[in-house]
Structure 1
Amino acid sequence: MAAFAPDIYVTPQVRKLLADEAAVLAPLLARCTGDHGLHLTTTAQAEPPAMPLLGHWATVRVAGAALGGDIRASGLEALPFADEAFGVVLLRHALETTARQDNLLDEAIRVLAPGGMLAITGIHPFGLWSPWVARQSRAPRPRLTWPWWWSQRLVRDEFELSMPRRVGSAWPRVGGASGPGSLVGGGYFLVARKKRPSAVPLRPRMVAVPAPIPGTLASGARRNAREPLS
C-alpha cells in the first residue's frame, strides 16, 4: 500500500531542494533594497533568504484557496497589500499549490515596486521528481508547470528576465551535493526585474509672458515720450 505524505513540502527530499534554492537565490537577490519583501511559500518552515539591504519580510503560506502565515485571507481574492508595496516578491513553489495560478502571479506583479525583483521557484515537471510527487501526494496534488510558461508571462508584462535554470539533484534524495549547474535538476528558478515606467520627454513650448507694468509713475516722469520738449 502506498505511503502518502500529508505534505510533500515538509519531506526531507523537498526540504533539501528548498535549501539548494535558498543557496542559489541569496546571492542573486543580495543587492535588492526596499522596506519590505513578500515571501509566498508552501510551508512556514521555508525561511526567506537573508538579505541585509532589505528591511522586513512578510511570509504568506499558500495552500489551495487559503492564505496563512502573517495574514489570514482567501486565496481567491486580491492580496491584502497596497500596490507596489514590496521591493522583492519571492514565490517559492507557491504557484504549485494555489487554487488560481494566474491570479496569484498577477497579484505578485501588482504589489511589486518598479525596479523590484520577482523570483519564482518550483519542481520541474520534466524529470524524476514529477512521478515521485504524483506517487507521494494526496489529492489535490501540486500543479507542476513548465518554467517557460512563467517566462512568457513575465516577458509579456515587460519584465527584464533571466533564463530559467535548473537547481537541486536529479532525483529526490536527502544528502549529496547539488547546485544550479545541473541540467537535470529537480527544481527550477527564474529571476526577473520589473521595469520602471519610461520617462516621457516633454516638448518645450514658447509662452508669451507679459512684462509687468508699474501702476504709478515716478514724480517728474514724462507721460508721453513723443511729446516735444518745450
Structure 2
Amino acid sequence: MLHRDYRIYSSAPLRQLADEQTRAMLPDIQRSAGACALSLGASGDVAVPSLPMIGGWTRMWIAAGGYRGDVCAAIDAPLPFLDEAFDVVLLRHALEVVAEPSILLGEAMRVLAPGGVLVVTGVHPVSGWAPWFYWRSGGTRILRFPGQLGRRLERHGLEIEWTRRVGGPWPSDASGHAASFNPCGGGYVMMARKRCRRATPLRILPAPTRLHVASGRLSPGTRRSAVS
C-alpha cells in the first residue's frame, strides 16, 4: 500500500523510476569523456552512474535551506563553480523541488562545458503518476513538460539529442524492470548537448619581402619600388 508522506523521492516508486531513468541514459552518457561531472538531484539516496571516461563526480542534492553533498551552498545563490567546469551535468528531478527552476536550469547550462552533455529527468505531468505525485507531495511541487524545457535549452545553445518516457504507466511499490522506452511511462529523460564554439578564421596577410642587393644594382626589368 502507498502511504502519503513528504519524503517522496525516498519512496519505493520513485527510487524504481530513478533506476529506469538511469538505465535509459546510461548507453549514451557512458561515451562521455572529460575531467568531471556534476550530479544535482532531489535526493542524496540515488547513486551516480559509472562513467569510465569521466575523472569523477561532484554530487549535490537539494535539502531544506540549500544544497548538500560534496559542496554545500545556499539554494538562492549561483552554483559555486566556474563557467564550463563540467563535461556532464545530470539534473535528477531537481527542477521539481526548487522555487525557480529556470534559474537552476540556467546555472546548469553555465557550468556545462562546450560539447558537454546535460541530462534532465523528471515525472511527466501527463501520466498516471501525476495524481499520485501531487497527492504524495501535498501539492507543493510542480511538474515540468519536457517539451518546454527542451525549447528553453535550444534557445540557449543546446541541441536536444533525444527525449524518452520511461517507467511504468502508474506508480507501484512492486520491484521490476520496465522497458527502456514506454510511451505511457511516468518519467522522462532528456539528453542535450552544448554546442561547441565555432572557430573564427583569421585573415592571413602576406609578409613583405625584403631583398638585399649587395652590389647596389638591380637586375634588368626590376622596379626599385618593389625592393625595400
Amino acid at match of 1:166: R
Measured in 2, the distance between the counterparts of 1:132 and 1:212 equals 88
Measured in 2, the distance between the counterparts of 1:98 and 1:225 equals 82
**For residue 9 of structure 1, what is the aligned residue in structure 2?**
9
**For residue 143 of structure 2, what is the aligned residue in structure 1?**
144
| Alignment deviations for residues 65-99 of structure 1 (CA, whole Å, 9 cap, x no partner) | 51111122112111001111111000010011112
Structure 2: runs of 5+ lacking an equivalent: 219-228
For the 8 Å contact 2:65–2:75, the answer to whether it is kept is yes
1:157/1:225 Cα in 2 relative to 1: closer, same or farther (>3 Å)?
Answer: closer
* Cα RMSD (Å): 2.1
1:168/1:3 Cα in 2 relative to 1: closer, same or farther (>3 Å)?
Answer: closer
Amino acid at match of 1:9: Y
**For residue 163 of structure 1, what is the aligned residue in structure 2?**
162
Amino acid at match of 1:169: G
Amino acid at match of 1:155: E
Measured in 2, the distance between the counterparts of 1:156 and 1:118 equals 15
- Give the count of matched residue pairs: 216
Measured in 2, the distance between the counterparts of 1:179 and 1:71 equals 35
For the 8 Å contact 1:25–1:49, the answer to whether it is kept is no
Structure 1: runs of 5+ lacking an equivalent: 214-220
**Runs of 4+ in structure 1 over 6 Å off:** none
- Deviation, structure 1 residue 202: 1.9
Higher mean Cα deviation, 156-165 or 34-43?
Answer: 156-165
Amino acid at match of 1:157: H
- Deviation, structure 1 residue 203: 2.2
Measured in 2, the distance between the counterparts of 1:162 and 1:95 equals 20
Normalization by structure 1: what TM-score? 0.87
| Alignment deviations for residues 184-223 of structure 1 (CA, whole Å, 9 cap, x no partner) | 100001101111100112222234354579xxxxxxx86x
- Deviation, structure 1 residue 132: 0.0
Measured in 1, the distance between the counterparts of 2:148 and 2:192 equals 14
**For residue 27 of structure 1, what is the aligned residue in structure 2?**
27
SS of the residue 1:44 aligns to: coil
SS of the residue 1:108 aligns to: helix
For residues 93-112 of structure 1, the aligned pairs below 5 Å read 93-112=93-112
For the 8 Å contact 1:167–1:180, the answer to whether it is kept is yes
For residues 165-180 of structure 1, the aligned pairs below 5 Å read 165-173=164-172, 174-180=174-180
- Deviation, structure 1 residue 23: 1.1
| Alignment deviations for residues 33-84 of structure 1 (CA, whole Å, 9 cap, x no partner) | 1111000111111111111111110011024651111122112111001111
**For residue 225 of structure 2, what is the aligned residue in structure 1?**
none
For the 8 Å contact 1:65–1:99, the answer to whether it is kept is no
For the 8 Å contact 2:96–2:142, the answer to whether it is kept is yes
Identity of paired residues, percent?
37
Measured in 1, the distance between the counterparts of 2:198 and 2:123 equals 35
